Homo-oligomer: A and B are copies of this chain.
Amino acid sequence: MLLKHSIPISVRYCETDAMGFVHHSNYLNYFELGRTELFRAQGGNYRRMEELEMFLVVVKFQIHYRKPARYDDQLVLHSTITRLTTARIEHAYKLMRDAELLCSAESTIACVDSDGEPRRIPENLSEITRVQ
């Protein structure tokens, strides 16, 4: 199974704040894109997953902001699955501008059903959510 994936991120104007840099809350949206696209690269599809009543919820996030990003910066986000159990998926992220590391982070996500009750994460998740 593919455990690493990289995507380009182009900083939008609406993501900046009055300090002239990307507001720190927006990095979480970048990381979400990274996770989702890693899953797509594995063959899975998160939209299909929700149609099957499996919802991924964020349980923990640790973010280390190192250098600011600016409007129109062309970044690369590297996302890695670092641990995968039937209850939890852990990711690590590195957001780069060329060779510079701007931000690193780790997250833990869990799977719940439509009532918010914990669900076992199926082993063949990317297969059963594949979109033809």
* Chain A residues packing against B (C-beta within 8 Å): 12-14, 16-21, 23-26, 28-29, 32-33, 36, 45-47, 50, 55, 57-65, 68, 70-72, 116
Q: How many copies of this chain?
A: 4
Among B17, B46, B60, contact of A14 (Cβ-Cβ < 8 Å): B17
Given the interface pairs A29-B25, A68-B116, the reply to whether A16 lies near B14 with Cβ below 8 Å is: no
Among B18, B71, B116, contact of A16 (Cβ-Cβ < 8 Å): B18
| Structural contact, A50 and B12, CB atoms closer than 8 A | no
Given the interface pairs A12-B33, A116-B68, the reply to whether A61 lies near B60 with Cβ below 8 Å is: no
Q: Could you say which residues of chain B place their CB within 8 Å of the CB of A63?
A: 60-62
Given the interface pairs A28-B25, A72-B47, the reply to whether A36 lies near B13 with Cβ below 8 Å is: yes
Chain B nearest CB from A104 CB (Å) reads 10
